[in-house]
Structures are given as structure tokens and as C-alpha cells.
Amino acid sequence: MKIPLFMNSLICGVISLLLTGCGQPSPEKEVDKKSGRQIAVYGSWASPIAANDVSALANDFGELQSVNGGIYFIQSEADLGGKVGIKRIDGDRKVTDMIKAEFDVRSKVNEYGGSPFLGIGQSLFVSKEDDQLLYRIAPNQAPVPLTAPNTRHADCAAYPKGSRIICIREDHRGEGEAISSLVALNLNFAGEGEVLISGDDFYSSPQVSPDHSQLAWIAWQHPNMPWDNTELWLGTLDPKGGLHNPKRIVTELEGSITQPQFSPSGHLYFVADFNNWWNLYRVGKDGKIEHVLDIDAEFAVPDWTLGSHNYAFESDNTIIASYQRNGEVSLIRIYLDTGTTEPIAVDFGEISQLIAGEDGIYFVGDKITPEKGIYCVKGRGTELIYSPELSTFNPNFISRAESISLGSSNGELVYGYFYGPKNPDFIAPRDTRPPLLVMLHSGPTSKASLAFRRDIQYWTSRGFAVFDLNYRGSSGFGREYRRSIYGHWGQSDVEDAVRSAGYLANRGWVDGTQLAIRGYSAGGLTVLSALAFYNTFKAGVSYSGISDIEMLNKKLHKFESHYVEQLIGENDEDELRERSPIHHLSGLTEPLLLIRGSDDPVVSDEQSKRIFTALKNNGVPTAYLSFDGEDYKLRNPKNLAKALEAELSFYGSVFGFTPAGDIPKLKLENAKHLKKAAQEY
């Protein structure tokens, strides 16, 4: 029988569809004859680094303590949404769960917490995330709460003579600001405890001397932040745990004093930035302050959280210390009798939590390569003793940082790390340059570092260039640089981001028409301001970005309640509005992706939706994502992965490339307005 013509065409079409999957022949991959690599536009490269590999960073750890012959530390668990437990490493390197992550160990003292546990013998004293009570947890016993509701405790020190622990307490039971104090708590029974000292706005770092006769601590008052001006205090402890004769250690210069610590023989050491740099000092026998090591380097970090330790006593004559200089981190041994030093390690991007264990000095280290873990100092080197399970990475896909410095408008240098695209399977078309992502850290005094970051490699392996910026105000470059943002927040940081993008484009390293900027919280403010006040960037991604500084100033908690006063100057309403991008949305004409957590206490849903609605009504390509149960920083690995893939889809739409892999398409309002822009690219 003769098949009708239309049936013949239909059958051929079906066969063609089955063979090709789309009715059209699959386009052949273009291969570079010289390198053998596939030719594809930047941003579209297939990468083995998935968004889930980045979100595995939720398995983070820190807060080391030496307890009863073992090393205790906290670790978050990605599978539990970032909840935190406590583990122990024994002498044979065996790792044991002491408190399961379901308990969720976390302090909220000063809102940012830190130092949430103390180990004594077989017992642990821990702060619990959901109720902020301090619990005693002993083997084969139910957790026993020791503190009252609406109080928070952290940064505790053992006082064996008085059978007590000495903690920072933040009391939220009254009206107005929470009251901070140093309190002594009974080890076995719930109660108020005994207030040892109060009256200052903030306290931190209680340290008991080796003979249990003295207590040292740090105090400061509004409007200072702990990296501005703080005080070192010393008092006498009686056998029952009482504190007597508190006196301030008088210094010739003011500055940020932090990390007090007694040597094995009882001499009091500390870190201070009297000479612009956070250096090591000690209190001499005559009470005078002695400079231990004069070096243009930082032996401390801004105390956003409690419990930082950048040095530890290896013996009464030797200190192991970490410092940052010119953006690089080093670990050294200091001989106190001669003042000489010797290097131990220089291949780390971050070193923190140095403590003295029974058999040596331990610390948390993040290398410039994917390796991270807990290390022990061995002679003139280090040994890795524990590392969490992390995604493995092919080194051929890893982009290495290049330190960059450039001049700001006032002649001061601005710093950052440049990462070029890196993928051994792909090459871009001739005479093209990669799109640039300028990354901004989340706090005005935080910092970018050389520690290996999976999120950066996620982008560079796909064909992006990344610039991790240490704008003016970032830490790690001295007190003057850290304070240079005071009075200029929302201006100098924005200008530095704009100038750095232009600098890299002018050098021919990136495509000047494909510049993007992204940041969290305070970094999000910089994103929004850069788009509102400048025309440099063609796309922006704001994670819980601050948009209304006036509203922020009204909602800040006690710890930061005077911070805007430092960052902006006098709280003049006109100036606060002038610096706030939410009042300048008419200038925000480039594509913007807004991402936030529904429980963010600072940036309200109303603010974010106001920006989204205004851009949508103005015809600006925009999208808005909100994740339930998250605050300003996404902790749930699944949410973090979704946000990252949405961001990749966003850049693909804006810059006109198709991301490789099964990336969900982001719904972008006013996407039709991108067509003309894409043609211009």
C-alpha cells in the first residue's frame, strides 16, 4: 500500500526527533586546534564544581579547647542545616562526638556570639542556640540548665579554687539595653551566680592566672567597638571566687587591646594596636608596658565574636603566633628571651584558635589550597590531625590568587585578590575577555583572605574572573586603614569597588562591559550603592543588603547601637538618607538580584520588596528570592546551593550566555529588556 505524502513526512519527522532529540541536528562542538580544548564563551564552561560542593562549607569548625588530655572543638553539620555540635580528638587521633549537632551549640552574646562552651574534666558547659541557657553536660546525665531565662553566657573561664566558672553575662530581663557583666557561676546548681564586675557597656576575655590568684579581662564603652578603644583590667581572686581590687592597666596610648593571656609563670600578655598594628605586649614586673615584638603586622582580628586566639605559649620562653602582613598569613615561633623569631608555616590563608594542648600547640588552619583542618605544631613544621569530609577538587580547575593593590582617590592603597578563569577543558573565543565578579565581604571591618574558597572556584571554573576586595576599612592592614572608613561608609567602599573594576578592565584582564558586583549585608549596601550612584557595573547581586541606613540605625542591637555613628559620623537624618540607596532607586537602572533570609533581623522584607517593586515598575530586569527560616547569612546548604544557581542563571541572562549543566532558569522580571543589552555585549 502506498503511504500518503503527509504520513511520510510525519514518520520522517518522528524518526528525526528520536535521532536528534530536538528535531534539529546537534551543533558540533568547536575545538581549538592548537590546545584541543573546546571553544565556548566565558561563563558557559562546564565545571565539575557544583553548587552543592560550595554549600558543603556548612561543615565548618573552630573554638578549640584543651580538656582532660583531649582537644575539643565545635563543628557544624551540613546535613542538619548548619547546626553545631562538639567533638573530641584523643591522643590516638580518634574523633568522638561529645555533643550531637542536634543540640546546636551557639552563643548570642553581643548577637554574634563566639566561645560557646567550656570543658572541665568530664563535664562540658555549653550555650544552647534555641534558649541561650548555659547547660552542664556530664557523661550519662541529662543536660542541666545552670542559668536563668533571658540571659546569655559565653567566653567562660574555669576557677578551680572556687569550684566555679567565670563567664560574660548579657542580661535581657529588664527594659532597654541588655546589661553586661562578669559573673561567677556554681558548677552544679542553677542560680543567678555572683556578679564580679559590672558598670561597663561590654566585657570579654576573662583569664585566670596559673596560680588562680588573679583575673584579667577586657572592657569597653559606647561608642567604641572592640577594635576601637578598649581597656585591660586586672583584679585579685579570693579562694571562694570573689573579685577584689580591680584596677585598669594604664597604657600611654589608647587603642584596641585584646586577647589577654597569662604566661605559664604568670606574666600578663596581650595584643594592642598602639603603633597602628596589632602587636604583642606584656605587663612588666614594674607594671610598665613592654613591646614584645615590633613588626608591621596584625596579631589579632576584629572581635566580632568572642574567643579569638592568635597566640599560645609553647613554654615560658616561647610563643607560637599567627599574623597577617600584606594580605598573607604566617605562623612563627617567638623566643622571648632574645626577641628572635623563626618561621613555621606560610602556606595558610587563615590561622586561628591557637591553644596549648598537653603535647603541643594546636590551631585551626585554612590553606590556600583546598586543605583545611586542625593542625599541631611539630618543630619547625605542622601536622594535620583532623579534617572534616569535604568535596575533592581537581587541582587543574583551581584558580590561584594574585595580590593586587591600586590607588584610591585620596592616594591610599586599596587591596584585593584577583582570580582568573581556570578550566583545562575550555578556551574562550579569540579577542574576548571574561566577565568580572567583584566580591565584597560582609562587614566594614571584615576582610577577604587567601584561604581557599569554593565559591570563588565555582565561578572561575565556569569562565568568570573574580576580584575579592579589601576596600578601605577592611582589617589586616593596620589600625589607620581599618578606621579609614569611619565617616565614609557607603562612599569609600563603593568608590574602591568601582575603581578596582575599572582598573582591571583597563589592564585588559576583564570585559569592561560585563562587570558584576555581589555582597552580603554591609557588602550588599555597597552593591546597591554602586548601582545607584555609578554606571560602572552592569549587574548586581545583593544578599540581605542594607538599603536604608536610617532604618538600620534604629534597629541595631546593643553591640552595634553606636556603630553607624562611627561609620557615618553624626547621625544627621539628611546624611543618612543621602547615603541610603533605597532613597535613590531612580539611579538603579542595571539588573539586580535580591536574595535574603526571611528571619533577617536587620534588613526587613518590606525594604527588599520596596526595591524589587520599584525596579520592576521602572522596567529594570530584577528578581527577588527569600528563604524561610534563614537570617542575613544563609546557613542551610540546600538554600545556599539554590541561591548560587539562581545567581549563575541571572548572570547568564544579563550577559547573554547559557550556563552549562542542569541549572534552573531564574524568573527575571522585565527580562525582555535584556535583549537589546545582550546585543550590545
Q: What is the DSSP string of 350-379?
A: EEEEEEEETTEEEEEEEESSS-EEEEEEET
Residues comprising the chain, all counted: 681
- Whole-model pTM: value is 0.90
**Is residue 26 predicted with pLDDT exceeding 60?**
no
Of 389, 357, 350, the closest CA to residue 376 belongs to 357
For residues 301 and 320, state if they share a domain: no
Which domain, by its residues, includes 215? 200-308
Q: Given strand 164-171, what is the order of strands in its sheet?
A: 151-159, 164-171, 179-186, 194-198
Q: Predicted confidence band at 607 (pLDDT cuts at 50, 70, 90)?
A: confident
Same domain, 378 and 474: no
Residue 656 placed within a domain: yes
Cα 601 to the center of its chain, rounded Å: 18
Same domain, 321 and 285: no
Instruction: Confirm whether 583 is domain-assigned.
Output: yes
Q: Is residue 161 part of a domain?
A: no
Residue 381: name the closest of 329, 328, 345 by CA.
Answer: 345
- What mean pLDDT is predicted for residues 528-539? 96
- Residue 496 sits in the same domain as residue 606: yes
Q: How many domains does the chain have?
A: 3
Question: Within this chain, do residues 278 and 375 fall inside the same structural domain, yes or no?
Answer: no
Q: Above 50 in pLDDT, residue 6?
A: no
pLDDT in tens, 119-150: 999 999 999 999 999 999 999 899 999 999 99
In a domain, 75, yes or no: no
pLDDT classification of 442: cutoffs 50, 70, 90? confident
CATH number at residue 540: 3.40.50.1820
Residue 675 confidence (pLDDT): 60
Question: Are 548 and 467 contained in the same domain?
Answer: yes
Residues 6+ apart with CB under 8 A from 563: 223, 225, 556
The CATH number of whichever domain residue 282 belongs to comes to 2.120.10.30
Distance between start and end Cα atoms, the chain: 57
Instruction: Return d(Cα 424, Cα 394) in angstroms, integer.
Output: 10
Same domain, 635 and 658: yes
Q: Which of 308, 323, 350 is the last residue of a domain?
A: 308
Angle subtended at Cα 590 by Cα 588 and Cα 591, rounded to the nearest 5 degrees:
115
Residue 14 has pLDDT above 90, yes or no: no
Residue pair 404/448 in contact (Cβ under 8 Å)? The answer is: no
One domain, residues 646 and 540: yes
- 340 and 304 belong to one structural domain: no
For strand 144-145 and strand 348-357, is the pairing parallel, antiparallel, or unpaired? unpaired
Would you state the pLDDT for residue 681? 34
Residue at 40 is within a domain: no
In degrees and rounded to multiples of 5, residue 136 shows phi and psi of -95, 125
Q: Are residues 509 and 549 in the same domain?
A: yes
Cell readout for 546 is 542594607
What value does the mean pLDDT of the chain take?
Answer: 91
Distance, C-alpha 417 to centroid of its chain: 16
Cell 551540613 found at: 78
CA distances from 357 to 68, 71, 91, 315, 431 (A): 10, 7, 10, 11, 56
CB atoms within 10 A of CB 203: 27
Identify the CA nearest to 522 among candidates 568, 477, 465, 574. Answer: 568
Single-letter amino acid code for the residue at 236: T
List the one residue out of 155, 153, 110 whose CA is nearest residue 131: 153
Q: Quick one: which of 155, 129, 132, 282 has its CA closest to 219? A: 155
In a domain, 48, yes or no: no
Nearest CA-CA partner of 364 in 378, 380, 348, 379: 348
In a domain, 242, yes or no: yes
Considering only residues 37 and 79, tell me which one the structure prediction assigns the higher pLDDT. 37
Contact criterion met (CB below 8 Å) for 62 and 74: yes
Across the beta sheet with 243-248, the strand order is 202-208, 214-220, 231-237, 243-248
| CB-CB neighbours of 556 under 10 Å | 16
> 554 pLDDT exceeds 80?
yes
**Cα(357)–Cα(660) distance, integer angstroms:** 48
Nearest to 281, CA basis, from 403, 272, 251:
272
pLDDT in tens, 303-343: 999 999 999 999 999 999 999 998 899 999 999 999 999 99
Among residues 286, 308, 330, the one where a domain terminates is 308
Position 676 scores a pLDDT of 53
Per-residue pLDDT for 248 more than 60?
yes
> Which pLDDT tens digit goes with each residue over 29-76?
899 888 899 999 999 999 999 998 887 655 678 899 999 999 999 998
User: Can you read off the three cell numbers belonging to residue 460?
Assistant: 572561575
CA–CA distance from 588 to each of 436, 534, 620 (Å)? 19, 9, 8
Q: Are residues 211 and 285 in the same domain?
A: yes
Distance CA 526, CA 500 (A): 13
Helix, strand, or coil (residue 624): strand
Does residue 244 carry a pLDDT above 80? yes
Residue 62's pLDDT is what? Answer: 82
Residue 82 lies in a domain: no
Interval 410-431: pLDDT, tens: 888 999 999 999 999 999 999 9
Report which DSSP code applies to 400: P
pLDDT at 527: 97
Please indicate, yes or no, whether residues 333 and 416 belong to a single structural domain of this protein: no
